[in-house]
Structure 1
Amino acid sequence: MSVLGPASACPCGSGLPYDACCGPLHRNERAADGVEELMRSRYSAYVVGASDHLFRTWHPRTRPLDLTPDENLVWTGLEVVDVVQEDTDGVVEFRAHWTWNDQTGALHERSRFEVRGGRWVYVEGDTRDT
């Protein structure tokens, strides 16, 4: 896992330092308060290589067996488009920008989350055309 300094800007784009944003979630010091915070922390986990956080926050019914990242894929920015949260489920629509080899693009997804064991977890997502 790539470790960011405590004062480094959080990769999720919140404008907060990593240690005041996604860092405590990656280190399992606390759980996400809602679906947007969890989605942002999951994006940041891809950026810094915190695959244990991805595993822990992915519903076991839909979680893939292999979470090994593509070493050539670099996540370059996150744009949250829409957030809908209710008591035990929610949806976040986002665009996650990337570079891969010499190509650039964005993953546009509408992700579904639910509460499981008192914690928010990612269930699944539907990709959109960008």
Structure 2
Amino acid sequence: MRGPVRRSELVLLVFLAVVFAVSSTVVVGSVVHIERAGLAVDGLEDGAVLAAAAVQDVSVTAGDPKTLDRVEVLVDDSAVATHRDGNRLTLRGFAPSEGDHTLLVRVRNATPLLLDAKVEHAFTVTRCG
């Protein structure tokens, strides 16, 4: 039969319980944030090959249109200007160079430690011909 629980064992159990509780909160909170953002990129699939002019047809939508006010759009880690057109954002005056690029659309989570909602697509721009 086992003796009484030692203080060090009790401290360890409490510590592990706190770590588990915090981890669960971070994961659940991040998933809820990402689902609520509902970000989608229209007109561009991951791995797409397109002409530079076709990029003007790319737009961003969100599950809640109010979220669009907080959306950041980056291409190759540089911010791209957007224009609000009803319930979507369009890329304003963006003309990518020929070659490989990465589009990142994200909504930062206001709560520390929680993940941002984001959509990322790699794409290649070719010359019109």
TM-score class normalised by the smaller sequence: under 0.3
TM-score by length of 1: 0.21
Higher helix share: 2
Higher strand share: 1
TM-score by length of 2: 0.21
